Amino acid sequence: MNKTYYGKLIFELSKSGRTGYSLPKVESKYQLSALKCQRQAALELPECDELTVVRHYTNMSNNNFGVDTGFYPLGSCTMKYNPKINEEAATMPTFTRLHPATPDHCAQGALHVYYETQRMLSEIAGMGEFTLNPYAGAHGELTGLMVIRTYHERRGDTARTKILVPDSAHGTNPASAAVCGCEIVQVKSLADGTVDVEDLKTHLGADIAGMMMTNPNTLGIFERQIPEIAKLVHECGGLMYYDGANLNPMLGVCRPGDMGFDVMHINLHKTFSTPHGGGGPGSGPVGVRKGLEQYLPNPRVVKNFEMIEDEEEYSYYSIECNDEALGSVSSFLSNYGIIVRAYVYLLSLGKENVPMAGKLSVLNANYIKEQLKAYYKLPIDGLCKHEFVFDGLKDEYAGHHDEPDHVVTLDVAKRLLDYGFHAPTIYFPLLFHEAMMIEPTETESKETLDDFIAVMVKIAEEAKADRQMLKTAPHSTPVRRLDDVRAVKDAIFKF
């Protein structure tokens, strides 16, 4: 990353009369100027030559930090390496030039990729069937909740409108439930961060549509009570929803379907190595146990089998719409290009390596935790899964929280940027004041982890020696700490 700030906007490079495109000349008697309802206001877009545009965005990219730049231990985001073969495959013209209205018989290759990805995810998750139509994790949650509501509606049970959500859940869980027209009932956590089963029992009743959970939970702790929880929710008539945000450590070890979950989503941009793209495009496939597949959204990709004369079996794929489906959540087959990337990743890893990804992510997380817990507060000790949460620096380094200049999690996070690491997720989960959530993923080497550990220790020492330096970090990034309050006050959202 270039530490010199570039900072220009394309509008500032524009010069009247320059162009950066070329189109064939069309001589035609059909003139658009004949149209009635034309735009009146002049459209001001940049006028730039090609090289200016290329340099501009290249310089901008040099002020950006990605997984390819350095270690990205962002908890709950699973910032694993994005293999380049995924990109090569997804940008093949056979996929990028295929129109979504292409007849099925001309798109058998594309449909094969979609169908096989669906099938492989079902196997990994222990589910009956998947749809790959949701665009992102939160969209998957919404779709999954629609499945749950549809299931109840079709049984004529319209009283079930409440969704149980642990208080440690991601913000998208309650937000998705609200968009889906559900009421949210928060379930308390125990001191160790796991669901309080006694509290759960007090909420169960004929108005419960289902419960949303991650496992391992947001603190990286495996919810051992899951069979009991699933039993209780099922007995009261609700369904269990698995938020796949934390699926990575479970790969090949423990499947959501076997834990008692009925509906779930997976983030392909977390677990299956597709790039995060600075906030998308992602993909949030939804899986259901057998018996619920008819409710999955349209359109569906189906594999059909036919016998031909010599009794040889012949199969082909088709896109189908099903009257029993909950409706549809995407115009076409969603972020198809992302699905191709996940498909390629699964082919590369294969059955031998999928379980290793999970195990090594857990190894990496515990390795960091064990070596930093002397410096940072570890509220919940013991084996974590793919991630863990510190509650800030220990007081002996940070200073007591009564002291006005004591070092907080934000300072540690900002100082990490100076050392060429991305910060962990901070101030989430909300269970701890100084939360710092660390998820290294399996693609990082021991050397990288050792460097990170050394820097985290060094920052602890710096906190003791020079608090002011930490309070004003970062010092060597393209820009320094930003004025968030001014951004809201000035409300400048365009050039």
Partner 1 sequence: MKFFPHTDNDVQEMLRVIGVNSLDDLYAEIPEELKFKGELRLPSAMSESEVRRELQGVANLNDQLVCFAGQGAYDHYTPSVVPYITARSEFSTSYTPYQAEISQGTLQYIFEYQTMMCRLTGLDVSNASMYDGSTATAEAMMMCVAAAKKRRKVVISDTFLPAVMDVVKTYAHFHGVELIVVAAKDGLTDLDAICRLLEGDDIAGVLVPQPNRFGLIESFDGLADACHAHKALLAINTMASALAVLKTPGEWGADIACGDAQSLGIPVSYGGPYIGYLCTTDALIRKMPGRLVGQTVDTEGKRCFVLTMQAREQHIRREKATSNICTAQGVMCLWVACYLSLMGTKGLREVNENSYANAHLLHDRLLETGLFEEAFPGKEFLCEFTLRWKSDKMDVNEMHTALSMEGFLAGVVVCEDCGLIAFTATEERTEDEMDELVEAIKEAAL
Tell me if 381 sits within 8 A of 389, measured CB to CB: no
CA atoms within 13 A on the CB side of 196: 12
Cβ proximity to partner 1, 338 vs 463, nearer residue = 338
Number of residues that bind partner 1 (CB under 8 A): 197
Among 197, 236, 254, 469, which residue interacts with partner 1 (rule: CB under 8 A)? 254
Cβ proximity to partner 1, 185 vs 407, nearer residue = 185
| Nearest distance, CB of residue 412 and partner 1, angstroms | 13
* Binding region for partner 1 (CB under 8 A) out of 89-97, 198-206, 373-381, 461-469: 89-97
The CA-atom distances, in angstroms, between 176 and each of 82, 281, 287, 394, 454 are 28, 18, 17, 36, 40
Among 118, 131, 141, 265, which residue interacts with partner 1 (rule: CB under 8 A)? 141
Cβ proximity to partner 1, 60 vs 464, nearer residue = 60
Interaction with partner 1 in 172-191: which residues (CB under 8 A)?
Answer: 172, 174-181, 184
Cα–Cα distance between 175 and 241 in angstroms, integer? Answer: 15
| Nearest distance, CB of residue 276 and partner 1, angstroms | 5
Residue type for position 312: E
DSSP state of 423: P
* Binding region for partner 1 (CB under 8 A) out of 200-208, 301-309, 350-358, 397-405: 350-358
306 binds partner 1 (CB under 8 A): no
315 binds partner 1 (CB under 8 A): no
* Binding region for partner 1 (CB under 8 A) out of 132-140, 303-311, 391-399, 456-464: 132-140
Contact string 191-220 vs partner 1 (x = CB under 8 A): ------------------------------
Q: Is the dihedral of CA 65, 70, 71, 77 positive or negative?
A: positive
* Binding region for partner 1 (CB under 8 A) out of 78-86, 234-242, 391-399, 401-409: 78-86
Among 164, 166, 227, 400, which residue interacts with partner 1 (rule: CB under 8 A)? 227
110 binds partner 1 (CB under 8 A): yes
127 binds partner 1 (CB under 8 A): no
Q: Write the DSSP assignment of 148-187 as a string of letters.
A: HHHHHHHTT-TT--EEEEETTS-THHHHHHHHTTPEEEEE
Interaction with partner 1 in 255-294: which residues (CB under 8 A)?
Answer: 255, 258-259, 267, 269, 273, 275-282
Output b/e per residue, 427-455; b: 16+ Cβ within 10 A. ebbebbebbbbbbbbbbbeeebbebbbeb
Cα–Cα distance between 493 and 475 in angstroms, integer? Answer: 27
451 binds partner 1 (CB under 8 A): no
Tell me if 243 sits within 8 A of 261, measured CB to CB: no
159 binds partner 1 (CB under 8 A): no
Among 294, 318, 322, 443, which residue interacts with partner 1 (rule: CB under 8 A)? 443
Instruction: Name beta bridge partners: 287.
Output: 130, 264
Q: How far apart are the first and last CA of the chain?
A: 25
Q: Residue 65: exposed, middle, or buried by beta-carbon count in 10 A (0-12, 13-18, 19+)?
A: middle
Q: Which two tokens stand for residue 367?
A: 């390795």
Cα–Cα distance between 424 and 440 in angstroms, integer? Answer: 9
Among 71, 80, 131, 213, which residue interacts with partner 1 (rule: CB under 8 A)? 80
| Nearest distance, CB of residue 400 and partner 1, angstroms | 26
* Binding region for partner 1 (CB under 8 A) out of 235-243, 363-371, 372-380, 456-464: 363-371
Instruction: Name beta bridge partners: 265.
Output: 243, 286
Interaction with partner 1 in 456-475: which residues (CB under 8 A)?
Answer: 472, 474
Tell me if 412 sits within 8 A of 390, measured CB to CB: no
Who contacts 219 (Cβ-Cβ below 8 Å, separation ≥6)? 168, 193, 380, 384, 388, 389, 429, 431
* Binding region for partner 1 (CB under 8 A) out of 286-294, 300-308, 328-336, 456-464: 328-336
Contact string 29-68 vs partner 1 (x = CB under 8 A): -xxx--xxxxxxxxxxxxxx-x--xx-xxx-xxxxxxxxx
| Nearest distance, CB of residue 314 and partner 1, angstroms | 14
Among 75, 77, 117, 189, which residue interacts with partner 1 (rule: CB under 8 A)? 77
| Nearest distance, CB of residue 242 and partner 1, angstroms | 13
Instruction: Name beta bridge partners: 156.
Output: none
226 binds partner 1 (CB under 8 A): yes
Tell how strand 425-426 and strand 435-438 pair up.
antiparallel
Q: Which two tokens stand for residue 405?
A: 């200049």
| Nearest distance, CB of residue 122 and partner 1, angstroms | 10
